[in-house]
Amino acid sequence: MSDRSKIKMSHLSLAAFVYLRQSSAGQVVHNRESTRRQYALVERACDLGWPRDQVTVLDEDLGVSGSGVVERSGFEQLIAEVALGRVGIVLALEVSRVARNNSEWYRLLDLCSITDTLIADSDGLYHPGDFNDRLLLGLKGTMSEAELHILRARLDGGIRNKAARGELRRGLPVGLIWGDDDGEVLLHADEAVTGIIRTVFERFAEMGSVRQVWLWLRDQGLSFPLQSNRWPEIQWIQPTYTAIHHVLTNPTYAGAYAYGKTRQERYLDDSGRLRKRVRKLPRSEWQVLLVDHHPGFIDWPTYEANQDRIAANTRPKRHEPGGAVREGAALLQGLARCGRCGRRLHVNYQGRKSSPGYHCPGSTLVNGRGVYCLRVGGRQIDRAVATALLTALAPAGLEASIEAASRLETDRDAALAQWHLAVERARYETERAERRYRAVEPENRLVARNLERGWNDQLRKLAEAEAEMNRRQQRTPRALSLDERRKLEALGTDLEQIWGASTTTDRDRKELLRTLLEEVIVAIDRDASKAQLTLRWRGGALTDLEIDLKRRRTAPVRTDEDTIELIGRLATHYSDAVIAGILNRQGRRTARGLRFTANRLGNVRRYWNIPRFEPSAEPPDGEVVTVARAAEILGVAPSTLHRWLNDGFIAGDQITPGAPWRIRITDELRSRFVEQAPEDWLPMLEETKALGVSRQTVLQRIKRGELNAVHVRRGRRKGLRIKIPQTQPALFEDLSSHETDLQPVKTHENETS
């Protein structure tokens, strides 16, 4: 097998590849002699005749398994180089270093036989193209794969045998530690750690939801312990939903020892590569489950009840009731079932007040017709079920109120207890930091400064913890007085008042309902307008209820006739949004007393078949525009046009009070607005003196058309200019004689003169 005659000049002209591999990082660190032997193969390649510069070492796969599941970049590079015909010889310490599975090993052998590549190990030199050498190499590959199987089976057998006795030491969740004896598991010695774990179970028993427990811990500002192999001590962090869910679903907290809860599976990914994944197994397939193996925080029946409750909180499957309690007003959410097909009823909300309702899309699920199997409002049904519940609870009302009073007086606030432990923990850390600081030599400032900084940090954390604890102590409810206890006991006889109180949330009502009811079967008789309810109580008792679904008919709600008539007149000139603004300014309302909007007015218009506004196609000189648009066209302020409209100088129409003015732009109207005053046209003040009348009289004569007036848009003396009448020459002569006595009067855009 070490015949060097197999080495040809064609081999020596190519590269020599030395492949190195160790199965794990621990072997790379501790089994260094094996690594040295593999690197020594470089010298052997040189002894076989390859120059040192033609020897390539592939050590990328150190610490990578060769079982075929993990991707190896070094092996893939080796395969690529061999397939390209660039390799003369492949050197490895043994076959198990190259591959631990026959699929990769035989792939290398096939390529080497095709490209005339040699293989060398510690035993000899082989040519895969030779039958005898290939037979031996194949046998070595099979033995390498069998060796891996035997080693794995031997180790797994020992692990399973030890786990069957409950003595295999695996990682324990936070709050539990291993004892000195075989298989001994103890509670953590830190009261803060065990206290927060117990608080999680207590709050779940009260709230029934993992998410609600997590939100309560965040709301109370409590920290959660984190245990890791990287840190020797417990770390306190903000609680996460995953951590709370792990506590409530881990059987170790219930005193059980479990092993083999998962299984590794091999599969082919989309690219055809072999992968490995971990699949969680149901409890019936766990390899080891020892109940009452060690003391826990809860017992095993409580753990099973918690798992059932968590499973019921998730989205239920078809034909199954359940689901976590939500904040909606539908009382039978998750409990109602269809009396026709047996499916779980879905909840819907509709209307401005979000009235609850129930529906069963049975036909949709069966044949896709989109027809509801059942659809009914929920208020009457919820009211009937609540009445039946309060009737059933009436005998136990007094005992429940007394128990509530006793619990309020005796129970300690779990959050306050945890803050007491947090203060105690912070005080211990502060004292330890102080001892460290005082133990160091004062001259060693390099160390003393860091210890002093750590001591100050612990003092700050202690002060914050004490301040928070004092704040929470002040918020702690005081003990009930005798009068308050009597009032509380009196409420036990009036459960309906408690049920309908504003402090009782919908979630509280649903939680109370689920403690007594398992499901409510709803059947609807549309012809008789009745609902048949079957209440199945916990324990198997049934209660039948019949509800009348008839509704009182009210008078039809209609919009006022004058409003409808006005909308018809306005719709020929304005859009829905403008009409809605006009009606709102007039104080008009819809049939239900709401303000008009474009959508609501459009609904009224379509109901009464009133056509919508369509802009006209008139030429620009004759178009009808608003005051703002007319002011933009004529080059004046909108206030000037409003004043001319009120005085009657220009024509405009307003369909109804509050509606916008509409002005028709014509050549005659444009001629009334000029840049410069015409000759012999006087301002208002001079005109009043020339005519010997008041300003109001002049305005009235302009309005009647007896005087012509224009508006000057530019210059220092903007404003009205009035044409001098030709019928009063003496008056003009008198005006000329007094021309020197007249002073120029300044006019402004916002003045009439």
Residues noted as catalytic: 23
157 burial (CB, 10 Å; 0-12 / 13-18 / 19+) is exposed
Q: Under DSSP, is residue 93 helix (H, G, I), strand (E, B) or coil?
A: coil
Residues 6+ apart with CB under 8 A from 721: 677, 678, 681, 682, 683, 709, 710, 711, 712
Would you put residue 714 in left (φ > 0), alpha (ψ -120 to 50) or beta? beta
DSSP string for residues in 535-573 = EEETTS-EEEEEEE------PPP---HHHHHHHHHHTTT
Task: State the maximum Cα–Cα separation within the chain, in Å, rounded to a whole number.
Answer: 147
Distance, CA of 59 to CA of 429 (rounded, Å): 48
Strand order in the sheet with 346-350: 346-350, 355-360, 374-377
CA atoms within 13 A on the CB side of 751: 15
Paired tokens of 529: 């307008």
Distance, CA of 363 to CA of 369 (rounded, Å): 6
Residues 6+ apart with CB under 8 A from 182: 165, 167
Q: Would you say 688 and 602 are in contact if contact means Cβ atoms under 8 Å apart?
A: no
117 burial (CB, 10 Å; 0-12 / 13-18 / 19+) is buried
- Residue 595 amino acid letter: R
Angle, CA 62 vertex, CA 59 and CA 65 arms, to 5°? 130
Distance, CA of 273 to CA of 320 (rounded, Å): 40
Distance, CA of 119 to CA of 131 (rounded, Å): 14
CA atoms within 13 A on the CB side of 196: 31
Distance, CA of 556 to CA of 575 (rounded, Å): 28
Paired tokens of 339: 């009396």
Phi and psi at 496, nearest 5°, equal -65, -35
Q: Under DSSP, is residue 625 helix (H, G, I), strand (E, B) or coil?
A: strand
Distance, CA of 300 to CA of 308 (rounded, Å): 13
Element (H, E) at 47: helix 41-47
Q: Would you say 601 and 567 are in contact if contact means Cβ atoms under 8 Å apart?
A: yes
Paired tokens of 515: 């403690």
Distance, CA of 129 to CA of 375 (rounded, Å): 78
Element (H, E) at 376: strand 374-377
Task: Find where tokens 């305005």 sit.
Answer: 699
Distance, CA of 472 to CA of 465 (rounded, Å): 11
Distance, CA of 345 to CA of 385 (rounded, Å): 16
Paired tokens of 322: 């359940």
Q: Under DSSP, is residue 659 helix (H, G, I), strand (E, B) or coil?
A: coil
For 141, other C-beta atoms within 10 Å of its C-beta total 23
